[in-house]
Structure 1
Amino acid sequence: MTSTIRPLKKKKVRQENEKIILDAAEKVFSEAGYGGATMQLIADVAGLPKANLHYYFPTKESLYRQVVQNIFNVWLVAAEVFDSATGPAEGLGAYIDAKMEISRRHPAGSKVWASEVMHRAPIIHDYLETALVDWTNDRIKVMQGWVEAGLMDPIDPRHLLYMIWATTQHYADFNHQIETLNHAQPLSDKQWQAAKRNIKRIILKGIGVPESELSRL
């Protein structure tokens, strides 16, 4: 019995430490960038010895890549709504909701991703060429099917995706600007819900979703 409990306890401690490190790394990378971040600074923010970081993540690059992969995995989960949606109102509506929640709850991760891409993705370019390309092409196929079925206007799904990303991730990447314009206050729950409704209505109406479906948003 004891021999079974010890491995479980050890696994739990490892998971907790990794989360603490990844949360700290996400914050530091979002503020200092990859070049400005150091393992010592991340250790200080995490409240752990630097040796602990190297135990779980041998290099700064391995830690950085895990931070980036984590936010991308969160985005992948958000896109699962495409797989079972009957049309753009349901699929894109739920996707926009999910992306807005990610911007609300993971602003630092979004900023890390944005900074990396703006610098031509020197660390994760291989990731963009594989995982991101495959994911994007799969979503485009779904939306093209909606176009062919007459469920949305004949627009290029790729540019629609870019618009959704730009709009939803703005709330994370430029949250300081949004808060400044909101009387120096974070958006309230009510304001977040209003933002979701407005974004969904603007985008879905723009691609020709009928008013009868928009009214249910």
Structure 2
Amino acid sequence: MTTRIQKRNRRRILDAALEVFSAQGFRGATLDQIAVEAGLSKPNLLYYFDSKESIHAALLGALLATWIDPLKAIDPAGDPRAEIMSYMRHKLQMAGEFPRESRLFANEILQGAPRMSGFISTDLKALVEDRVRVIQGWVAAGRLAPIDPYHLIFSIWALTQHYADFDAQIRLLRDGADPLDGAEAFLEMLFERLLTPVPVTQADG
């Protein structure tokens, strides 16, 4: 049975590892760095995790379920623009609440996704393809402006996760202002204009 102290130490290690991996990437991170960040000895850390790989796998496993939940939440029976805007807001909120997790994900992808390729090519691919079909149906029904569903999803990822992954750059360019200040209003305006169908007039017909 896992004791309270063991649970606490495991949480300390994972939180420390998230800090180190998000800053250094998998290749740059070491067990020594993680142990120092956690305030534990390396032998103590190895009691809970036998390798850097096992710590990284535990972090990714916890992250991936959370990361795709907003995409799963898109309701095919809902209002198309409302559903997509809600998805965008969820992703932007996650960028603000989980910046280290976003950078962990980004670092893994930049390395060629060696530890995530299986998940991306199966679970994530199936989910994205399902949502692509939903968006295609909305476009075909005239409920959204003609738009490529894949690039819509990729654009939402890029325009929201940027605020986490490039937080330092944004703060420098905005004299330390909150990177998310004004972001939601701007993205709402952007996507509202992008997604709204243009009314067909008699002249057009």
> Shorter-chain TM-score: which interval?
0.7 to 0.9
Partner of 2:124: 132
Q: Is the 8 A contact 2:70 2:90 kept in 1?
A: yes
Q: Which whole-Å CA distance do the structure 2 matches of 1:209 and 1:54 have between them? A: 57
Q: Is the 8 A contact 2:163 2:179 kept in 1?
A: no
Q: Which whole-Å CA distance do the structure 2 matches of 1:163 and 1:89 have between them? A: 15
Q: Which whole-Å CA distance do the structure 2 matches of 1:53 and 1:151 have between them? A: 54
Deviations 1:100-121 (A, max 9, x none): 1111111111112112112211
Structure 1 residues 51-66: aligned runs within 5 Å: 51-66=43-58
Structure 1 gap segments, 5+ residues each: 1-6, 211-217
**Percent identity for Structure 1 against Structure 2:** 35
1:99 corresponds to 2:91: yes
Partner of 1:17: 9
Q: Which whole-Å CA distance do the structure 1 matches of 2:46 and 2:141 have between them? A: 53
- Aligned-residue offset at 1:68: 2.2
Q: Is the 8 A contact 2:25 2:104 kept in 1?
A: yes
- Aligned-residue offset at 1:59: 1.8
TM-score by length of 2: 0.86
Q: Which whole-Å CA distance do the structure 2 matches of 1:30 and 1:170 have between them? A: 14
- Aligned-residue offset at 1:202: 0.2
Q: Which moved more, 1:143-152 or 1:168-177?
A: 143-152
Partner of 1:164: 156
1:146 is aligned with what amino acid? W
1:124 is aligned with what amino acid? M
Partner of 2:19: 27
Structure 2 gap segments, 5+ residues each: 199-205
2:58 is aligned with what amino acid? Q
Q: 1:111 aligns with which of 85, 92, 103?
A: 103
TM-score by length of 1: 0.82
Structure 1 residues 200-215: aligned runs within 5 Å: 200-208=188-196
